[in-house]
Structure 1
Amino acid sequence: MDDADFDAAVEQALAAIPADISARMDNVAVFVDDDYIPREGDDPSTVLLGLYEGTPLTERDSWWGAGSLPDRITIYRTPILDICSSRKQVIHEVTVTVVHEIAHHFGISDERLHELGWG
């Protein structure tokens, strides 16, 4: 799958988010990047399919909106392509990853996402 097709899969996954949920998303931007680069303190062999960076909606208070930068969701192309052997699998994994990271925006933990089958 080329970059444009992968980007389209991410866009389709975002478009499939129910309107009542996407309407509640606040100040969040979604990006696609090739790979997660482990940061200082991370295990250097860390592989991520996606990453949410920001302040979940459940942790924001009244001061939060004053000049805050957008939360950031990044979907990592290379690791998803590496674990998938078909276009159908890529689309499924992109969808799961997008939902997983959006759930973090809403304050849902990894543990709860695994319980719900979105791990």
Structure 2
Amino acid sequence: MEISRKDFNAAVREAIAGLPQKFKDALQNIAITTADEPTKEQLESADVGHGELLGLYQGTPITKRGFSFAGELPDVITIFRGPHERVCHTRKELITQIQKTVLHEIGHYFGFDDAYLHSHGY
């Protein structure tokens, strides 16, 4: 399933816009970006094995930030287009997966680990 970069970026923006307001209000000092493919360094840092890296959170979860956190560079969430295209077969499946990936990576920002997120469908 292929999607244009423009449509992919729009789907990511829509996934963010669809978040409950209380979660959007809590997102501070974070950038959410897109990329076609993860870099070698991103793949190594995520340790995904043989699977596809759909998204990546890089930063300090809010549950681990102390008083000295002020002035830090923003955390970054990157959502990857190519891996989404490879794991999805229909446009509906792709849009749903983008939404799940965005929620999953934002979950890391809020301090949830992969085991917890996967057990809750993200």
TM score, norm. by length of structure 2: 0.89
Which residue of structure 2 aligns with residue 17 of structure 1? Answer: 19
The separation in 1 between residues aligned to 2:113 and 2:27, in whole angstroms, is: 17
Count of aligned pairs: 117
Q: Deviations over 1:8-56 (max 9, x none)?
A: 0000000001001110111000000011122299368563000000000
Which residue of structure 2 aligns with residue 96 of structure 1? Answer: 100
Which residue of structure 2 aligns with residue 64 of structure 1? Answer: 69
The separation in 2 between residues aligned to 1:106 and 1:26, in whole angstroms, is: 11
Which residue of structure 2 aligns with residue 115 of structure 1? Answer: 119
Which residue of structure 2 aligns with residue 36 of structure 1? Answer: 38
Letter in 1 for 2:38: Y
SS of the residue aligned with 1:82? Answer: helix
Q: Deviations over 1:61-105 (max 9, x none)?
A: 01101x200000000000001111111111001000000000000
Percent identical: 40
CA contact (8 A) 2:43 2:53 kept: no
The separation in 2 between residues aligned to 1:115 and 1:3, in whole angstroms, is: 30
Offset at residue 2 of structure 1 (A): 0.8
User: Which structure is higher in helix share?
Assistant: 2
The separation in 2 between residues aligned to 1:90 and 1:46, in whole angstroms, is: 17
- Map of 1:42-53 to 2, 5 A cutoff? 42=44, 47-53=52-58
The separation in 1 between residues aligned to 2:95 and 2:112, in whole angstroms, is: 23
Letter in 2 for 1:64: F
Which residue of structure 2 aligns with residue 87 of structure 1? Answer: 91
2:69 aligned with 1:75 = no
Mark the runs of 5 or more structure 1 residues left unpaired by the alignment: none
